Amino acid sequence: ILNSRIFNNSGDDGINIKNSTVLLDGNILDGNAADQLDIDASSGLIKNNQFFSKPLQSGYKLNQISIDDNGDGADFSGSNIRVKNNKFYGFLDKAISIGENTKAIVTGNNLFNNNSAIVAKDQSKVFIYKNIYKHNSIDVQMYRKKPFFNFPEVYDFKNNQSQVKNIKK
């Protein structure tokens, strides 16, 4: 999906992709009811996109939706993914959620005004480098949500700005 705007979707997600090879480049995802992007059991590259929890256009009337407080910017499970040079703004839950044995490389992203910027869960391996964090409650967080998975691993390379918060559940 290239240079598109995905917005005001009243379903679970703005985009939901499963069992695929993915390239999302230069898109805007805003104001969708739950997750802006949900990718399961896939591989690919997510680059140069902008993710907003709230609609960019005020007064849009086609779908009257309420924004889910648990909605994420991008939610990955069981995938191999690279998240590069994206912008994530204003998510009340997670800007980037990486779970269920996902392998992810997260580089060069701007993560502003989110509750949690990057979250690793449930046996995922996450490599992060040169992301910019501003005004998030938590920059990087890791925990086990589902007991049949092992704990996640986060590798933060030369990034003195982030603080990893490890929570065991």
Find out whether 161 and 135 touch, Cβ atoms under 8 Å: no
Find out whether 165 and 144 touch, Cβ atoms under 8 Å: no
pLDDT of 3 strictly over 90: yes
Q: What is the predicted pLDDT for the residue at 62? A: 47
Among 21-30, 60-69, 76-85, 93-102, which stretch is predicted with the lowest mean pLDDT? Answer: 60-69
Confidence of residue 169 (pLDDT cuts 50, 70, 90): very low
| Mean pLDDT score of the chain | 90
Three-state SS for the chain is: CECCEEECCCCCEEEEEECCEEEEECCEEECCCCEEEEEECCEEEEECCEEECCCCCCCCCCCCCCCCCCCCCEEEECCEEEEECCEEECCCCEEEEEECCCEEEEECCEEECCCEEEEEECCCEEEEECCEEECCCEEEEEECCCCCCCCCEEEEECCCCCCEEECCC
Confidence of residue 86 (pLDDT cuts 50, 70, 90): very high
Q: How many CB atoms lie within 10 A of CB 23?
A: 11
Average pLDDT over residues 16-37: 96
